Chain A
Amino acid sequence: MPFGQLLIEGLAMGACYGLFGLAVVIIYRTSEVINFAAGTMAVFSTYIAFHMITFYGHPFWLAFFFALVFAALLGMFVEFFFLRPAKNPTLLGLIVITIGVQLLFGGLVCWKWTADQQAFTIPFSYQVIYEPLPGVFISQWAVAVFVIAAVIVTLLFFFFKYTKLGTAMRATQQNKHAAKIVGIKTDRIFAFSWAFSSVIGVTAAMLISSRTILDPEFMMEPFLRAFAAAVLGGLMSVPGVLLGGGIMGLIENFFGYAMPAWKPITAFVVIVLVLCVRPSGLFAKHYVKKV
């Protein structure tokens, strides 16, 4: 495979990881919860779309829209019923809750749709190839990924910068108590950030599943790679996670091309190496511990 091909494919996959990492980062920024359930929640919503298309015969865009709404409600549901009732949970407690949510939804998905592999298609096929420059091929799927990622990131940028809700989210992230004092309902902000994260997560999951397969576990590895991307970016910054996603996608694609058997563990090697050098990610400001 030529170099340019690997580069574009890697960047496209990296954009998916970056998008999914964004879902992790949005929750971590506001509530300092690592959402281990992000992958499974996205799988659940993807299956909703799959079910509508396959069994009820609805057009893709209707199913897509419905899946987004479902994902938003699912995110709010998880925040409201599972995280809010926990009083002053420790970090380990939060991790246990989100892993519990992951098992819960994973089990439900397997129960409803079984563990069989399905094919999930979106209107952008990766078999339709364009040739913008001689010798450089780019699939329709990759174009769609780049466009969608760009649109989401632009929207998020304007949302955080100019809207009232976005400003409230940033305020909550900086100081929860001060945000409460100036009248921001922080609980509601958490619910909204879970909804946002879930919606972005399902968008990324649909893009990934149309490239690979759809089964209840298909988001496990992308989740870890997205997490690696988020860690590379320091878990806090939006540009950081996108850059991290790009790096992840490229490393994985080039390394996977050279040594296919070891492709799955690249993410972990990268995480561990980066964390050994910079314990709070490449782009994070240095973290000072208060005693």
Chain B
Amino acid sequence: MIQHLLHISHVSKHFGGNVAVSDVSFSVNEKQIFGLIGPNGAGKTTLFNCITGFFPATAGDVIFDNKKINALRPDQVCKLGMVRTWQRVKPLENLTVLENVMVGAFSITNSTGEAEANAMEQLQKVGLTDYVKKSAGSLPIGLKKKLELARVLATHPKMLLLDEICGGLNHTETDLLLDIIRGIRMKGATIVFIEHDMKAVTSICDRIVVLNSGEKLAEGTPEEITSNPDVIAAYLGGGHHA
């Protein structure tokens, strides 16, 4: 039997009178790379915020690793093994690159030495070893995205939620990052991936959910999604709905 690692069940999120996410359900299996796509304002990041405890869902359940995590705080969610990156990167600007990743590493150790070793390992993985002593705020955007990735990897997560990790990167950088992500999956982690760039998503994802105006529009394999007329309409006409 296939194990569901994350199960989203009828999740809705309202802000006052505005419905940002409406009755969305899907399941993510272990070791899957799962894509969450949709036009601007479709509710992808809001859904991430609901899942990771930044603001609780108005209705519905979030089940992770067989535990209901609706009411947990972000740090508790992280401790359970689910960690997210940010669409607008959030480097700890006045700390060094190494220290940034160490902060992630401290979620699984109390020892500064161990945290440092773990952090170096992750920095090696994403290719940031030349920048360890630089302040995180001074990095260009491409490297900040890599830093975000290294930082969450240091928490040794079961599941990573990556919010537009390739946004603002050029082709070479994107390909490099996608390779790293494939590598992470090989090691046994599960990945949920918010992305704008359809090409990136279809090339890497096993399964995709499409959101539009807060609702689930379609779910399927990359082939099914790219040939789905509703999805094509939503993407082409996305500007009107946004």
Partners in one complex: no
Chain A residues at the B interface, C-beta cutoff of 8 Å: none
Chain B residues at the A interface, C-beta cutoff of 8 Å: none
